[in-house]
Structure 1
Amino acid sequence: MGMEDDPAGWALLTSPGIGELLAAAVAHGGGTLRSWRVDGVDAEPGLQTTATYQTEVEWPFGPRTELLGVSARVGGAAGTDADAVIFAAGDRQVAAWLYPRDPDLPGLVRAALPGGVAQLLTENLVLGRPVDPAQVHLELVGYRPRRRAVLRAVVADADGPRTFFLKVLKDDAVAPTVRRHELLRGAGLPVPEVVAATDDQVLILPALPGRTLAHALFDGSEPCSGEVLVGLLDALPAEAAELPRHIPWADAVGQYAHTVAQALPGLQPRLTALQDQIAAGLDPIPPGGEATHGDFHEGQVFVDGGRVVGLLDVDRVGPGRRADDLACLVAHLATIQGMTPEQERGIDRLAAQWMTVFDARVDPAELRLRAAAIVISLATGPYRTQQAGWQQATEAIIVRAEQLLLSIR
């Protein structure tokens, strides 16, 4: 399949034939590819597709597991692809790299290794003393190739372990992210302080207190009230509404539906029906000018004793509608994976309690339309992360979007 039929490279990067390219990429570095499997697929419809692969490589010094990344762009290799290795794949060019040498995240090379993290912490006087690499325990928390990475660093200290998060960003995201942290902290919001921002695009943040709402959801009692969550969002400073606007997740529902349909063509009619209803409902609604978080869900909120004590990932803070944020949380609650039936019932009860509160703050129909759109965006997750049984999981998520629209009165 050539560029004309597969302009963004989805079919190429997910085909068995990609193994030959992976072998060539490993050989370019002096190794021999022994095995590979797709680890994740990140598609930007109409622009590019990036895939990661878990590989077993035989190097001159011995065997090792490696994470290999490959990107295909519409129109061929360009820009920062030059910082990777360019290979020909049929009638197109693709860029390949071995983690952590991500061409758009130069700081990942240091942030992914204990020695590099010790150097970062020492250079920026984060602990007020030199840090030895042997004191650093690292864990990769999240990696979206060519977009961002987050690592947890636990540092042994005389007074007990100290935990920091290293957020590795693209160059154009650093200054806006720091600005948002400073703005929200100045307004009294419980966001972490940026203790250092390095020249190679790494932000160093201390761990927040409390527990994530994602964990507290399963405690068997309400971890915080819906009113507390709405109050947290309403406490965002008015100045945040003057920042550049990010496109709300719901506005990109067509792109996400296209990605889901590429993976499961049989869902196309249902996705089209969902898109049509969402578009008809949301098109008349103006963009909104409230200060919003932009990616508000249970993984971003830390709670303790019914209070919110922390708020993460403020990169998308800017103008929008309160329904954007509340719908994001509703959609994430509706698509939590891996629950037992009892846990699922508990989450559904909690979501219903919170929805009653949210319905009093925003238009209930708009809330459900936006939540359904965001559910469709989350339906890309099982395939993107190569979850076992991703086909059934994807269809179950689409059912959730349909149920949200059916609940509009």
Structure 2
Amino acid sequence: MPAVPNRRHVPAADTLSVLSSAAMRGPLQDLLRARGLKLEHWEHLRSHHRPGGAVSALYRVRCRRPAGGGGPNPGTDLTLHLGATTADGTVAAGPEVAAARIAGLELQLWVHPHDPVLRSLPWATDAAAVARDVFAAAEPVRLSLVAYRPLRRAVLRAEHSGQAAYLKLLPPALLPGLRRRHRLLEAGSVPAPRLLPAPADAARGAAVLSALPGTSLFRLLVDDGAAKVRPETFLELLDALPSAALDLPLRRSWADRAEDYAATAAAALPGQAARIRDLARGIREAVDSAPAGPLVPAHGDFHEGNLLLNGGTVTGLLDVDGLGPGRRVDDLACLLGHLAVLAAANPGRPQLDRALAGYRRVFEEAVDPAALNARAAGVVLTLVSGARAGQGASRTRNALVRLETAHRLLRAAG
């Protein structure tokens, strides 16, 4: 019987540190060398830490195909994106995946777009193939990457001759549920994207969705605090979710997983670990003590980036992956928590503070105020680890802004 490798547990904070450190040059160089390429320069773009699971990272590299080394276009410079993950058992071995071991970490690496779980990503990033299969056109489409979380999801926008569609890629096991949710919404009055015909083979890991008109609530809030939008509009939208959503699987809310997200936040801010654990404990106690209300059809990720409007009318409800039974307070807390972070990160835009106060006032009349604010704190805790540099501040500074915002919301719940 072969010996079982002796694998030691590497703390998440150490994993994040290694994946962004100079030590990654070796594995990246090996990955490229096996493809006849020489690494010239590399940079770590971002890491994704899944609560209780793997850590994945993305890199941008500049490399060269040596002259006389064989292969097409010898001597040319290339810019590529590479991925790496600690996922164990999720990533199947294959010609596009390379294994590496560094600082006690067992890694799997690949060259984008050959994501080892999102197998349709090479098709979705091929402008000619998408033109042929989605638009029945000979001229290539214009593609833009909207979102990408390695091994988990990708969204691309495709445009051709004034038409647009979105390509949403998920692990294959999740796609039937996504399609079922879109069909439920198509049968009702909620303005969600429609499922469009998709090629059977090349895009078997993708859903093709219609584009919707409107401006995101995020943009409206930043511009003028969404002055034309009544907060009550979102209560009415949630009321319109189909009752058949109650037959879908129940998923835990963001606040219900406060301890899991505290671990990812502490890995991103190791110096704040004790404070983060105390915050998660306070959220759990507040959530357990405040009435959550009955199970109702819920969106599951109800925030300003997933809402499109024209004037004061909702024209689009996006990202319906989490549609199912839930608590109204959690959907409202999701929007309130995101709005609180937006206001805190933009102190020079007083319209955001005014919007936050107005939305809180309306939402506190619809659900229990203590439950609303405690669960909003739980939502913000999930956002700490995903903070990036921006608005003239470092990633760490922006993560601390989110942490303090979660504390303020928890105090409001008390």
Question: TM-score over 0.5 for the alignment?
Answer: yes
1:10-409 equivalences in 2 (<5 Å): 10-59=16-65, 61=73, 62-73=76-87, 77-83=88-94, 84-90=96-102, 91-122=104-135, 130-134=136-140, 136-156=141-161, 161-199=162-200, 200-220=204-224, 221-284=226-289, 288-336=294-342, 340-343=346-349, 345-383=350-388, 389-409=394-414
Return the alpha-carbon distance in structure 1 between the equivalents of residues 131 and 147 of structure 2.
Answer: 20
Deviations 1:203-257 (A, max 9, x none): 1112101111111113325241111111101111111012011221112222222
8 Å contact from structure 1 (residues 48, 71) kept in 2: yes
Return the alpha-carbon distance in structure 2 between the equivalents of residues 17 and 287 of structure 1.
Answer: 50
Deviations 1:300-329 (A, max 9, x none): 111112111111110100111001101111
SS of the equivalent of 2:207 reads: strand
8 Å contact from structure 2 (residues 255, 284) kept in 1: no
Q: How far does residue 275 in structure 1 lie from its aligned partner after superposition?
A: 1.0
Q: How far does residue 92 in structure 1 lie from its aligned partner after superposition?
A: 4.7
1:121–1:307 CA distance, 2 compared to 1 (3 A): same
Return the alpha-carbon distance in structure 1 between the equivalents of residues 248 and 346 of structure 2.
Answer: 41
Q: How far does residue 342 in structure 1 lie from its aligned partner after superposition?
A: 3.4
8 Å contact from structure 2 (residues 51, 263) kept in 1: yes
SS of the equivalent of 1:17 reads: helix
Q: What TM-score, normalized by structure 1, do the two folds share?
A: 0.90
Return the alpha-carbon distance in structure 2 between the equivalents of residues 45 and 257 of structure 1.
Answer: 9
Aligned length: 391
Q: How far does residue 263 in structure 1 lie from its aligned partner after superposition?
A: 2.2
Return the alpha-carbon distance in structure 2 between the equivalents of residues 86 and 286 of structure 1.
Answer: 47
8 Å contact from structure 2 (residues 10, 105) kept in 1: no
5+ long unaligned stretches in structure 2: 1-5, 67-72
8 Å contact from structure 1 (residues 184, 237) kept in 2: yes
8 Å contact from structure 1 (residues 326, 367) kept in 2: yes
* Segment drifting more, 47-56 vs 78-87: 78-87
Return the alpha-carbon distance in structure 2 between the equivalents of residues 388 and 49 of structure 1.
Answer: 24
SS of the equivalent of 2:321 reads: coil
SS of the equivalent of 1:64 reads: strand
SS of the equivalent of 1:208 reads: coil
Q: How far does residue 11 in structure 1 lie from its aligned partner after superposition?
A: 4.0
What percentage of residue pairs aligned between the two structures are identical?
35
5+ long unaligned stretches in structure 1: 123-129
1:286–1:224 CA distance, 2 compared to 1 (3 A): closer
8 Å contact from structure 2 (residues 134, 199) kept in 1: no
SS of the equivalent of 1:381 reads: coil
Q: How far does residue 384 in structure 1 lie from its aligned partner after superposition?
A: 9.7
Return the alpha-carbon distance in structure 2 between the equivalents of residues 382 and 359 of structure 1.
Answer: 28
1:287–1:120 CA distance, 2 compared to 1 (3 A): farther
8 Å contact from structure 1 (residues 213, 298) kept in 2: yes
Return the alpha-carbon distance in structure 2 between the equivalents of residues 323 and 37 of structure 1.
Answer: 41
Residue 213 of structure 1 aligns with an amino acid whose one-letter code is L
8 Å contact from structure 2 (residues 131, 138) kept in 1: yes
1:388–1:41 CA distance, 2 compared to 1 (3 A): farther
8 Å contact from structure 1 (residues 86, 93) kept in 2: no
* Segment drifting more, 147-156 vs 197-206: 197-206
Q: What TM-score, normalized by structure 2, do the two folds share?
A: 0.89
1:195–1:139 CA distance, 2 compared to 1 (3 A): same
User: Match of 2:69?
Assistant: none
1:260–1:105 CA distance, 2 compared to 1 (3 A): same
Return the alpha-carbon distance in structure 1 between the equivalents of residues 314 and 82 of structure 2.
Answer: 39
